A and B are shown apart, each in its own frame.
Chain A
């Protein structure tokens, strides 16, 4: 996500989840950190009461924990978790946020899986914000938007707001692609749809794109956790010869 879009998105999330417990189901863009930091620095005086990031990349998890510790942000935390596994903290949150793999090659199944985890995090209640591809020229984002709204409806949620064509990206391959914010909200008294469980194998095919199936559970970090940035053994200064 481009930096300007990130700032706008972080403020939006902070406002939307003000005073709420917010679960991030994956967070490659580090919007969670931006949201928490904006409030902790008193740039904005609103934001979630708790942010927990569930991500399969241990480097990301450690970086969030280290940042929160270093900046003394007590309401920001992260846990190592893969969305294909059963969800560990069902019903502990009021809101969920996800910017999942966009499901261009599996009719949106990748989006559905992440959304379902968010729904479980909120105990089939609350609200969710889903960042999802949105493009006027392409067909697949329309299909994914359709199937995602249908799946949300099956889970007892309705679309209460949508912000089309909101974000753009820096990647060469994605210069034209945009994404939207899709807001979903549970119907009053929406019942649970059963216990959380691992994702069926057939849903893992083409998860990250054509022929890009889920094979990796975690990215494990070999780097020791340091609270104040890079470990000293990883870097050394090189000075100008004529420097005093």
Chain B
């Protein structure tokens, strides 16, 4: 357990790697520059397990009401994401009202984005078997059961590790950031 990952903490776990033909090191450098300039960056993602309005926003708002942060905790991996580097031009919090993305922010080849700050390299371990899904129809399911197959990201609450002979499923965390209101948005390229 650590400063970030401890019982009661809210984390959004995600595997990250090459994205839209851009290496992870390049992405991190670019995002940190954007945070320095604009105060935030948009971290693009896809899939259906962390939908902005039904998953990430209610999850993060619940913690924000208690004055507690949500950290994006990321595990590096070899990815084969070779989508075209199309820059999103507008974003929406609710999927209905759209706003232009500032010129200094570049988010490429993604359907959704997390709003982040304090992006940094950070070495830690997350025991997925000591987490529970925090929101959605799988709320309460043990993280190690949920994160498998197509589900490679999840909104989780860290729990006390179970004592017993059950195998723990620990993953290495390499990178973290803090989520920022409105936490997750829809993207559009038009």
Q: Does B79 contact A (CB under 8 A)?
A: no
Q: Is the CB of B140 within 8 A of A140?
A: yes
Docked pose: A140 CA to B141 CA in angstroms: 10
* Known A137-B145, A210-B62: A174·B54 in contact at CB below 8 Å: no
* Known A172-B48, A210-B62: A177·B57 in contact at CB below 8 Å: no
Q: With a CB–CB cut-off of 8 A, which chain B residues contact A102?
A: 137
Interface of B (DSSP majority class): loop
Contact of A173 among B59, B62, B136, B145 (CB under 8 A): B136
Tell me the smallest distance from the CB of A103 to a CB of chain B, in Å: 10
Q: Does B17 contact A (CB under 8 A)?
A: no
Q: Is the CB of B142 within 8 A of A137?
A: yes
Q: Is the CB of B53 within 8 A of A173?
A: no
- Chain B residues within 8 Å of chain A by Cβ, number: 24
Query: Who on chain A is nearest to B94 by CB?
Result: A215
Tell me the smallest distance from the CB of B128 to a CB of chain A, in Å: 14
Q: Is the CB of B142 within 8 A of A173?
A: no
Docked pose: A171 CA to B48 CA in angstroms: 8
Q: Is the CB of A175 within 8 A of B140?
A: no
- Chain A residues within 8 Å of chain B by Cβ, number: 20
Docked pose: A139 CA to B135 CA in angstroms: 13
Q: With a CB–CB cut-off of 8 A, which chain B residues contact A210?
A: 58-59, 62, 135
* Known A137-B145, A210-B62, A212-B54: A173·B48 in contact at CB below 8 Å: yes
Q: With a CB–CB cut-off of 8 A, which chain A residues contact B54?
A: 208-209, 212
Q: Is the CB of A174 within 8 A of B138?
A: yes
Interface of A (DSSP majority class): loop
Docked pose: A85 CA to B141 CA in angstroms: 34
Tell me the smallest distance from the CB of B114 to a CB of chain A, in Å: 17
Q: With a CB–CB cut-off of 8 A, which chain A residues contact B58?
A: 209-212
Q: With a CB–CB cut-off of 8 A, which chain A residues contact B61?
A: 211
Docked pose: A173 CA to B153 CA in angstroms: 10
Q: Does B151 contact A (CB under 8 A)?
A: yes
Q: With a CB–CB cut-off of 8 A, which chain A residues contact B59?
A: 210
- Within A121-156, which residues are at the interface with B (CB < 8 Å)? 133, 135, 137-140
Q: Is the CB of A176 within 8 A of B146?
A: yes
Q: Does A104 contact B (CB under 8 A)?
A: yes
Q: Is the CB of B138 within 8 A of A177?
A: yes
Q: With a CB–CB cut-off of 8 A, which chain A residues contact B139?
A: 104, 138, 140
Docked pose: A17 CA to B138 CA in angstroms: 32
Q: Is the CB of A175 within 8 A of B151?
A: yes
Query: Who on chain B is nearest to A212 by CB?
Result: B54
Q: Is the CB of A212 within 8 A of B53?
A: yes
Sample (19) of A-B pairs whose CB atoms are under 8 Å apart: A102-B137, A104-B137, A137-B142, A138-B140, A139-B140, A172-B48, A172-B49, A172-B149, A172-B150, A172-B151, A173-B136, A174-B137, A175-B148, A176-B138, A209-B135, A209-B136, A211-B58, A212-B54, A212-B58
The 3 closest A-B pairs by CB, nearest first: A172-B150, A211-B58, A210-B58
